[in-house]
Amino acid sequence: MPRVIHFEIHADNPERAVKFYEAVLGWHFQKWDGPMDYWLVRTGPKEQPGIDGGMIRRHPGQSGNAVIAYVCTVDVPSVDDYVKKATAAGATMAVPKMPIPGVGWLAYCKDTEGNIFGMMQADPSAK
């Protein structure tokens, strides 16, 4: 059964958001050394229940509407198969399958209520 493995915060001003979450929740942010503007978010120690996440500079999606929410991402064995399952059940594509270099494949869908969720297939060879 796919489980939530990651959340993502979309921010107009990531530097301001970092200061906010560090001050309010004590979360730790580290700029990712990858090909996009991205921050890794550690929300607590590994031995404590919970998940870590990331933050990305907000940009419009395919429809031109910016994401104004936290996006939860679930671990799936095949992004292609799960996109098919999601769309067959009434979801629409928000962001088509794309590589996250060195990490895997990611796609965003909107559920039947308009909520965006991500699906990630681990694949270190993704480019």
In Å, what is the CA distance from 35 to each residue of 54, 62, 75, 82?
Answer: 15, 20, 22, 26
The pLDDT assigned to 58 comes to 84
User: pTM above 0.85?
Assistant: no
| Percent of residues, the chain, with pLDDT higher than 90 | 73
pLDDT digits (tens, 9 = 90+) for 4-52: 999 999 888 899 999 999 998 999 999 999 888 899 999 999 999 999 9
Computed on alpha carbons and rounded to an integer, the radius of gyration of the chain in Å comes to: 15
Query: What is the per-residue pLDDT for 67?
Result: 73
**111 is written with which tokens?**
């559920």
Q: Which residue has the higher pLDDT, 73 or 66?
A: 73
